[in-house]
């Protein structure tokens, strides 16, 4: 019996010692990890302070030496970059390369190709004359280069055709964010009376069903040649997921610092600081995915547009539109929700003067609650003064996005 008690005591003693040793080892490992984190944080803080010093009191007309300093500041790890100048209401993510989806494989390839066929086919419209690509042309940055598109019977809407490059990556679609799925977005223009003017989807599927090639392709992908409009939307969405492409800025962010010129790096610094662009345009998609009033709603005028308010019904949303992604922005003009600004130079000047202003045309409008709401522009849009050289540097940076 004594032997058994001794064995138990020995066992529990060894077990307790093992637990104590494990605890000590775990504590040591945790302390070591914490020390590593503190050391790395201190190192990045030191690097950031050095970077801040490199760009401190940066001249508005820099020479080659000054441009070299700003490049040095941004050739470091992003955690050590000079901090952006931000306003209190901003919701910002640091710049990062976009993780572009891998190329499709297997049956997905066939679905993407079917989506391309449908995208280019005017039979998706009531008139049989308007295809998706009429307003979203690859050679025009997946837009159409117009202030607003011509649709059914040459009608024109009030909004600029949004470029489709990054549509598959966005949480909300259209200028007012009224849908969240690509499939919904794909069908939206088809039923819009100003765009493709389809009254009944069955007319579209019946038209496609008369085509032997379509019937065979739908059968091989979806298992039936009785074409469903949901399959049309699915194939169009699959095609739209393939449109995004890497940019020079992506390469720069991945470590290829030669991807940007010295002038473009300076433009990036201005984007993050003096111009305040990063208050709304940040992260991999260069957008905060929020809705802002830039003073361009033109409410009370022929091109007036309530924006997000038409979706939410909220008075505060009058004149607010979804922040555009700046990826490929040099290819996607004209700009703003209504296409009123034709080129990047004028876009920069628009922000230099503090954006637009919504003003009443008469006494009746002056007392209208919606007009008053539309006059309240975003607090994130602030005036700034650029020299011609600074303006051009920012434009050159935008061309790399």
- Residues catalogued as catalytic: 195
Residue 236 and residue 304: Cα distance in Å, rounded?
Answer: 31
Structural element, H or E, at residue 270: helix 262-272
* CB crowding 103-142: b at 16 or more within 10 Å, else e: ebeeeeeebbbbbbbbbebebbbbeeebbbbbbbeeebbb
Question: Which residues are CB-neighbours of 349 under 8 A, at least 6 positions away?
Answer: 391
For 216, the 3-state DSSP assignment is helix
Say what the alpha-carbon torsion angle 222, 240, 197, 172 is, to the nearest 10 degrees: 110
Residue-level length of the chain: 401
Q: Which of 326, 320, 324, 328 has its CA nearest to residue 272?
A: 326
Residue 400 and residue 184: Cα distance in Å, rounded?
Answer: 31
Vertex 85 angle, CA 340 and 65, to 5° = 95
Q: At what angle do helices 107-119 and 212-222 cross, to 10 degrees?
A: 140
Question: Which residues are CB-neighbours of 4 under 8 A, at least 6 positions away?
Answer: none
Residue 158 and residue 392: Cα distance in Å, rounded?
Answer: 30
Q: Tell whether residue 152 is among the known ligand binding residues.
A: yes
Residue 273 and residue 96: Cα distance in Å, rounded?
Answer: 17
CB 242 within 8 A of CB 103: yes
Residue 165 and residue 21: Cα distance in Å, rounded?
Answer: 57
CB 311 within 8 A of CB 174: no
Secondary structure letter of residue 335 according to DSSP: B
Residue 68 and residue 262: Cα distance in Å, rounded?
Answer: 7
- Tokens 């499939």 locate to 183
Residue 271 and residue 217: Cα distance in Å, rounded?
Answer: 47
Q: Tell whether residue 135 is among the known ligand binding residues.
A: yes
Q: Tell whether residue 281 is among the known ligand binding residues.
A: yes
* Annotated binding residues: 132, 135-136, 152, 277, 280-281
* Annotated binding residues for heme c: 132, 135-136, 152, 277, 280-281
């Amino acid at each position: 019996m004594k032997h058994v008690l001794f064995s138990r005591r020995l066992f529990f003693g060894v077990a307790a010692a093992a637990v104590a040793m494990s605890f000590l080892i775990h504590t040591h490992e945790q302390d070591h990890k914490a020390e590593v984190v503190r050391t790395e944080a201190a190192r990045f803080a030191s690097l950031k302070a050095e970077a801040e010093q490199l760009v401190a009191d940066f001249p508005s007309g820099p020479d080659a030496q000054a441009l070299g300093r700003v490049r040095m500041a941004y050739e470091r790890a992003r955690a050590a970059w000079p901090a952006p100048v931000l306003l209190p209401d901003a919701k910002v993510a640091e710049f990062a390369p976009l993780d572009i989806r891998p190329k499709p494989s297997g049956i997905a390839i066939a679905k993407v190709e079917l989506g391309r066929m449908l995208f280019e086919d005017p039979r998706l419209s009531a008139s049989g004359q308007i295809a998706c690509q009429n307003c979203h042309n690859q050679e025009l940055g997946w837009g159409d280069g117009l202030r607003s598109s011509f649709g059914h019977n040459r009608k024109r809407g009030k909004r600029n055709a949004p470029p489709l490059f990054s549509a598959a990556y966005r949480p909300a679609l259209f200028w007012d964010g009224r849908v969240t799925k690509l499939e919904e977005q794909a069908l939206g223009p088809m039923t819009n009376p100003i765009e493709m003017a389809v009254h009944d989807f069955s007319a579209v599927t019946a038209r496609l069903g008369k085509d032997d090639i379509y019937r065979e392709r739908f059968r091989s992908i979806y298992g039936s040649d009785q074409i469903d409009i949901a399959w049309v939307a699915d194939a169009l969405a699959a095609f739209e997921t393939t449109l995004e492409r890497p940019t020079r800025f992506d390469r720069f962010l991945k470590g290829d610092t030669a991807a940007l010129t010295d002038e473009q790096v300076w433009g990036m610094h201005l984007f993050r600081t003096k111009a305040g662009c990063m208050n709304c345009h940040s992260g991999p998609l260069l957008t905060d995915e929020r809705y802002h009033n830039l003073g361009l709603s033109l409410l009370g005028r022929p091109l007036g547009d309530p924006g997000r308010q038409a979706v939410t019904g909220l008075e505060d949303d009058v004149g607010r539109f979804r922040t555009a992604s700046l990826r490929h922005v040099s290819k996607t003009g004209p700009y703003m929700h209504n296409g009123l600004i034709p080129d990047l130079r004028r876009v920069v000047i628009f922000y230099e003067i503090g954006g637009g202003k919504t003003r009443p045309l008469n006494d009746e409008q002056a007392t209208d609650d919606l007009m008053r709401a539309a006059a309240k522009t975003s607090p994130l849009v602030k005036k700034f003064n650029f020299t011609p050289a600074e303006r051009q540097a920012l434009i050159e940076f935008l061309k790399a996005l």
